[in-house]
Structure 1
Amino acid sequence: MIMKTRILLSALLILIFGLLSGAGTAYANEEDVLKTLSYKLPVTRNGVTVTKVATPFWQSEYPGPVIDVRSKKSGTMTVQAYQSLRKLDSPVACTIKHGIYHPWSKTKNSVIHYYTITPVEDYKALKKAKLEEYTIHAGDIITNVVYLSEGFCKGNLKNRQIEFTCSALQENQRDFQLLGKAENGSRPEQWLYVKCEEGHKAFIQDTALLNKNGVKKGSLSNTGKSALDFLFKTYP
């Protein structure tokens, strides 16, 4: 339930702010919004262009890192960002507000949305099979499979999103075949899409922001009051 709530919030934010290009997009209904939750895009790194999957949230039960940008003092910080995360050839100066940068942070900051870039995982059904409550027919293709949390994944099937335990698909080679070659050594990228004080919007990678002077890495600490009631602690 918690993850579904986060996904719905992600969908609503996409509806408001648009996709990676920053352009506004009008959707006819909730199903159209859900279809945008993960999608393929070309990503160029070190001169090599590879198709990846973009997802508008950070994965894991407890996503990280917690990024503390001088949160105890009001003000701003200027960092290097990019106009597009597809190809990192257009760096721009971007001034962001001090604060805690994390998908669950309640402090005011400059984030519009959070994104994860992962390798493509598409699967083809070799025969009619059940995947959780879904009936999958021979030849059906489940595209853009990404990890959610607590052993659950999601993917797109015939223009709709479905959720299932990852092992039910990825470890069932009798019924499902991975299309293409697995990118076992590829690490996910996590990005923050932010509104810069200069007036433009840009992308900052989490690792780059953490390397900025004055920025500290923090952790999550559950207060026990509710599943989403967390304190953000900063490492010395």
Structure 2
Amino acid sequence: MTIRGKLKIYFGYTAGVGKTYTMLKDAHQKMRMGVDIVVGYIEPHTSFETMELVEGLEVLPSKIITNSKGQFYEFNLEGAVLRKPQIILVDGLAHANAVGSKHEKRYQDIEELLAAGINVYTTMNAQHIESLTNTVTDILQAPVEEIISDFIFDCAERVELVDVEPEVLIKRYREGKIHNKDESDKLVKGIYKKKNLDMLRELSIKRTTERINQVCNWN
């Protein structure tokens, strides 16, 4: 009988707080300890510091999906199951896969990895938790498209809150470290005003604190 893998979520109140950076730093530490760890998929980041951390780690080649909308590079689930490392990094838990992928959502890919006995490190933002989406929509006055069940969040083996002060995050945006400069300026002047970031941050801290460890039936 295969022992189910364990899920660790690096959780933040929005993009740019350092979730992927922290996850990659931890991966290097695990590798130095002799753990068999592989990068399954990392979302492209503007931050040079984040992408630089991919170097030195084993990286699983992406799967190319071609459909009517174009060509997409997605997480190679089949390759990951075949490689079967002790731990695999798969960025973007709430990501919607390109049409033509085995599963519609990335969390379904991760569920298959866990069922195969592979431990998974992943990332997500507060807006993607189902119970928080309405509140986040009210704060940002913008719709949330990628949503996952609270069950996945609550039943993860571990959730690590990755947190920075909103002032630090705004500085990162203005320096173009998260998106390109023009897009970042629009976000800071629009939905990512400090008062909105303060509310999102409070929401993520509260939700992390409220998370209940429970015996979860994954069958």
Regarding TM over 0.5, the answer is no
Higher relative contact order, chain-length normalized (CA < 8 Å, sep 6+): 2
TM-score normalised by L of structure 2: 0.25
Name which one, 1 or 2, has greater alpha-carbon Rg: 1
More strand by share: 1
